């Protein structure tokens, strides 16, 4: 049997973007060889950081270059931000596949498939960034996505709840507006990449939803109530800005759940306003 877990680890820790993407692309067919995560040939490790390119500078979210699309630099900064999200998404999917090995093999296979798709997204968006005269690492980036991975590293249920169902699902809300602005600039090649990302991302959120429901069932927890508790505990919101209900429904959120969530967030907001009034 091939050492699949060792290969996942190598891809996860690789600091070379091309190498990471090449390795991630090779993993899905190898996943068929995994019988059980308990047979993994490498120990589960608690890494604080996944591999990021050496030249990439991480700063707090408030300190990244403004993505003003009306300047060439601002436009490139926007493309760079998408590259960075996709690069983190490769690491996040590889990390889920490598770390949570007590789950059914189908979980590992699913996240290796996601990792390969995220690697395609990154490479395609990096090509667009290069076409505009810049490369990955030319702008500062923030560590927000990976921070959430680390905060949820101890529990796959928490990971599924907060990364695919909150952070990745937010991508479904914002991508159509970004695409419209890119189309306005006449950048059809980038529109094509955004279309691919948007289509695949519905599937990734769906994968997250599937495993969130599975883990709730396994633990006898009520998925909707738990999700609301987690959102308020981690101070996260869904209904801030446009929410893409169609895409979310295709990704496995029911209209009922979205309505309950909206109501819940409004009542939280209302409660805060009332408290502040005293
Ligand atoms: Fe992606």
Q: How far is the CA of 197 from the centre of ligand 1 (A)?
A: 5
pLDDT recorded at residue 275: 56
Q: What was the pLDDT predicted at 272?
A: 65
| Alpha carbons 161 and 231: distance in angstroms, whole number | 9
Q: Measured in angstroms, how far is the CA atom of residue 199 from the centroid of ligand 1?
A: 9
Please report the pLDDT score of residue 41 as a whole number.
72
Per-residue model confidence (pLDDT) at position 3: 85
For residue 31, what pLDDT is reported? 83
What are the residues whose beta carbon lies below 5 Å from ligand 1 (ion)? 86, 89, 118, 121
pLDDT tens digits, 146-204: 888 889 999 999 999 999 999 999 999 999 999 999 999 999 999 999 999 999 999 99
Distance of alpha carbon 210 from alpha carbon 9, whole angstroms: 24
**Cα(272) to centroid of ligand 1, in Å?**
35
- State pLDDT tens for residues 222-255: 999 999 999 999 989 899 889 999 999 999 999 9
* Percent with pLDDT over 70 in the chain: 95
Please tell me the distance between residue 198's alpha carbon and the centre of ligand 1 in angstroms. 8
Q: Which is higher by pLDDT, 270 or 150?
A: 150
Token pair in block for residue 167: 């952070």
pLDDT, residue 2, reads: 63
Measured distance CA(165)–CA(207) in Å, rounded: 10
**Burial environment of residue 33 by CB neighbours within 10 A (0 to 12, 13 to 18, 19 or more):** exposed
Is the CA virtual torsion 92, 11, 106, 49 positive or negative? negative
Q: Output the pLDDT for position 178.
A: 96
Q: Nearest 5 degrees, angle CA 115-CA 68-CA 56?
A: 45
Q: The pTM is what?
A: 0.92
- Tell which wins on pLDDT, 107 or 60: 107
9 C-beta neighbours (distance < 10 Å), count:
21
Which pLDDT score is estimated for 149? 87
> DSSP states of 243-255 as a string?
--HHHHHHTT--H
pLDDT over 70 (residue 277) = no
Mean pLDDT of 109-138: 97
The pLDDT value given to residue 35:
79
Residue/partner pairs of 263-268 with CB below 8 Å, 24 or more apart: 264/228, 264/231, 265/231, 265/237, 265/238, 265/239, 266/239, 268/232
Q: What are the Cα distances from residue 19, in Å, to 29, 59, 209?
A: 17, 25, 30
If you measure from the C-alpha of residue 145 to the centroid of ligand 1, how many angstroms do you get, rounded to a whole number? 13
């Amino acid at each position: 049997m091939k050492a699949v877990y060792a290969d996942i680890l190598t891809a996860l820790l690789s600091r070379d973007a091309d190498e990471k993407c090449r390795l991630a692309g090779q993993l899905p067919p190898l996943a068929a060889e995994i019988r059980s995560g308990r047979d993994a040939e490498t120990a589960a490790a608690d890494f604080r950081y996944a591999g990021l390119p050496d030249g990439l500078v991480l700063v707090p979210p408030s300190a990244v270059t403004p993505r003003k699309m009306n300047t060439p630099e601002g436009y490139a900064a926007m493309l760079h931000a998408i590259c960075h999200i996709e690069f983190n998404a490769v690491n996040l999917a590889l990390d889920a596949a490598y770390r949570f090995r007590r789950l059914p093999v189908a979980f590992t296979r699913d996240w290796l498939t996601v990792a390969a798709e995220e690697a395609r997204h990154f490479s395609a968006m990096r090509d667009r960034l290069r076409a505009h005269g810049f490369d990955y690492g030319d702008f500062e980036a923030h560590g927000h996505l990976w921070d959430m991975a680390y905060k949820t590293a101890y529990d796959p249920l928490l990971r599924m709840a907060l990364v695919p169902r909150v952070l990745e699902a937010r991508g479904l809300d914002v991508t159509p507006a970004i695409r419209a602005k890119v189309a306005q600039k006449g950048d059809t090649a980038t529109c094509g990449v955004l279309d691919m990302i948007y289509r695949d991302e519905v599937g990734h959120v769906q994968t997250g939803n599937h495993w969130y429901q599975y883990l709730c069932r396994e633990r006898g927890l009520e998925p909707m109530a738990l999700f609301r508790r987690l959102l308020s505990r981690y101070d996260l919101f869904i209904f801030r800005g446009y929410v893409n209900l169609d895409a979310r429904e295709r990704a496995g959120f029911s209209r009922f759940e979205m309505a309950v969530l909206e109501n819940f967030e409004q009542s939280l907001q209302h409660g805060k306003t009332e408290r502040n009034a005293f």
